[in-house]
Structure 1
């Protein structure tokens, strides 16, 4: 049986830079099915996944995240609509960071509580990128919808006002997106194990991680080169002219 919960509210602010730590306040509501597909990847939403090109709508193993953004505007930042799907008996998470080696990663965690019939719950955490330590943080998260089916976790949520810099008079939209998972023991979030790091991406560009595979135009040759360069053409014309004069 599929089990899902909508989390309707979370509190205070998010921007991916050092910020205030605390506990997000969440409330729970009725069951809801969450459907996540690849529709719009590269055109209306930025998608990352492992393994490559896996199907989040299928039953196979697929850790998938998608980000749809509003038009960025300083000092308010960019509004994000995020989808996350993965397989875990604990949690799956999507992280946003300005630099995966230093500073912090804001983690959005979709989890199941196996000690409570696998019920869905949502958390936001802050990871120190230097020592990987996790700590709770206050974060605005809206319209949270989640479902659990066996070890498959799906969730969708909106995050307003995201900025890759703590300078609120400017706006930065380049993030590395992390995907990973971890354990949940007695409601306690375990260490985040990252399995994908997208590298720096412009999150407002759905195609920012799409490689252009269109081959460069090539010149077809048969045997020796069939291309006549200007100096070779002039030489050929000179020879022909000389031959005509000798026969005259």
Structure 2
């Protein structure tokens, strides 16, 4: 037991051997100066507890060998200065706990060899970056997300790779900038009617309880969720995230936030990034299962110059390589007889060219592998918002397919005409605009075969006392039957008899008999009191049309049929029958007169 203010000076070549279970407690302000060639061998279970202001100065060639279960607890303000050739060899189960403000200054040739189960616990004032305090309150994002500083101040990933989140167009984007330690600033952008999300996985397997940051469109404003992605489901949890800002512009959702990421595993050098979207119910707050739009391998988020590829796109391109010949062919026909079996491997993507016909024999089986990428259908929502910009012919033939009756119809000008524009979002999801004159409603029917009216989806915009009321229906045997369709983002306006509306819809798959959809534009009566829709009168009907071909020429089959009948049928029928009857009557009279003459003779 050492009292306070004790000073001990050891002579040269001093050897101290401590027996087993030795305990030494040093008092305050203890100073120990060890002379040259001092050797200390500690036996088993030695415990040394140093209190405040202990200073140890070791001179030359000091060797300390600790055997089993040595524990050293240092008090506050402990300073150890080692000079030349100090060697410490710790064997089994050595534990060192450092108190506050501990400083160790090693000079020349200091060697510490720790063997089994060595544990060091550092006290206060050790420099580490604390995690962020959770706060997911959303403030307004004043500056839109952009590609500024990509490659200089922040790492950027996108799908497609040229995505500019500040420009028009559908794309997914993430930017990451390190604050310090594991704290990063993130910005994400994407198009969705529900939510967009970013998942950061500390290993290469995305979806194993990985932190996922969700920005949802909550009736025009951003609602933020901190979640983990596990087995394809988002589970709300508290994450170290704050400084959340967000904005919604139509279908485009953008937000920024700061987050503390978990430590990357020893198997990777960074984080795998996943960008996704999904449905969101503003009433219940439920998040649908995410659909992945971008997925990367492990990325060092601090390397702003890193090239990050989309594994989904890469996989699809690599796997689909054998179909290159088919893609460059205008028309491909494959006929298979017998028992055909097709098995698709994991991550298989098949791209079919236009007008490809496959005739399969009996007992055909197709098995698709896992992770096939499909575009999810839109979430139904037929709430009507104001259509600020009138429907027009702008971008017809460049960005959208347009059909009209008459063909020169300009829906932004005065005059009675019917008009539809179609623009593909992705997959089977399209944006539509329709315009027409009616005291009741106008409607657009899209038939996946050439027979319009066989339970075909029909989108109805009715004049409900000066505002648009939207109906999702099917047309069957000339009657409109209300049903739920995958349609949303509805906007409408009424100006006198002119009704205009725009909406997004997921179309059914076209049948094998056609390469597109037959389009029908119609109008009919509407009772605002009862909500009843009268039978539609068709004003325009097309053959099957490829809606993705914005340059397609689409004729009105009703006009063509009417013109043909008027020009050819009427004159031919009337004139020919009259001539035939006149000739027959004349011949009969001549025969009768001849017979009478012969009888008189």
- Is 1:179 matched up with 2:275? yes
Superposed CA RMSD: 2.6
| 1:133 aligned residue | 233
CA displacement 1:49-70 (0-9 Å, x = unmatched): 0011111110111210010013
Q: Give 1:42 deviation, angstroms.
A: 1.8
Name the CA distance, whole Å, in 2 between partners of 1:58 and 1:103.
34
Distance 1:125 1:101, change over 3 A: closer
Name the CA distance, whole Å, in 2 between partners of 1:144 and 1:120.
10
Q: Give 1:207 deviation, angstroms.
A: 1.5
| 2:137 aligned residue | 27
- Is 1:118 matched up with 2:228? no
Kindly indicate whether the alpha-carbon contact (under 8 Å) linking 1:34 and 1:156 is maintained by their aligned counterparts in 2: no
Gaps of 5+ in 1: 1-12, 15-23, 73-77, 212-248
Say which SS state the counterpart of residue 197 (structure 1) adopts: strand
Say which SS state the counterpart of residue 149 (structure 2) adopts: coil
Name the CA distance, whole Å, in 2 between partners of 1:210 and 1:204.
13
Q: Choose from 144, 154, 162 the match for 1:45.
A: 154
CA displacement 1:15-35 (0-9 Å, x = unmatched): xxxxxxxxx764355x44232
Name the CA distance, whole Å, in 1 between partners of 2:206 and 2:176.
22
Q: Choose from 258, 274, 285 the match for 1:158.
A: 258
Q: Give 1:120 deviation, angstroms.
A: 1.3
| 2:294 aligned residue | 196
Superposition TM-score, scaled by structure 1 size: 0.64
Say which SS state the counterpart of residue 244 (structure 2) adopts: strand
Name the CA distance, whole Å, in 2 between partners of 1:82 and 1:63.
14
CA displacement 1:137-194 (0-9 Å, x = unmatched): 11121111000111111111111354224xxxx9x75101101101102321110111
| 1:82 aligned residue | 186
Q: Choose from 301, 304, 310 the match for 1:206.
A: 304
Distance 1:32 1:177, change over 3 A: closer
Q: Give 1:102 deviation, angstroms.
A: 6.4
- Is 1:100 matched up with 2:200? no
Say which SS state the counterpart of residue 96 (structure 1) adopts: strand
Distance 1:197 1:59, change over 3 A: same
Distance 1:149 1:132, change over 3 A: same
Name the CA distance, whole Å, in 2 between partners of 1:108 and 1:146.
12
Say which SS state the counterpart of residue 35 (structure 1) adopts: coil
Superposition TM-score, scaled by structure 2 size: 0.27
Name the CA distance, whole Å, in 1 between partners of 2:135 and 2:286.
16
Q: Give 1:71 deviation, angstroms.
A: 4.2
Q: Give 1:119 deviation, angstroms.
A: 2.2
Distance 1:43 1:194, change over 3 A: same
Query: 182-191 or 102-111, which moves further after superposition?
Result: 102-111
Query: 98-107 or 140-149, which moves further after superposition?
Result: 98-107
- Is 1:91 matched up with 2:195? yes
CA displacement 1:185-207 (0-9 Å, x = unmatched): 23211101111111111111112
| 2:479 aligned residue | none
Larger radius of gyration: 2
Kindly indicate whether the alpha-carbon contact (under 8 Å) linking 2:157 and 2:308 is maintained by their aligned counterparts in 1: no
Count residues in correspondence: 176
Say which SS state the counterpart of residue 168 (structure 2) adopts: coil
Gaps of 5+ in 2: 1-130, 310-601
Name the CA distance, whole Å, in 1 between partners of 2:261 and 2:272.
17
Kindly indicate whether the alpha-carbon contact (under 8 Å) linking 1:118 and 1:148 is maintained by their aligned counterparts in 2: yes
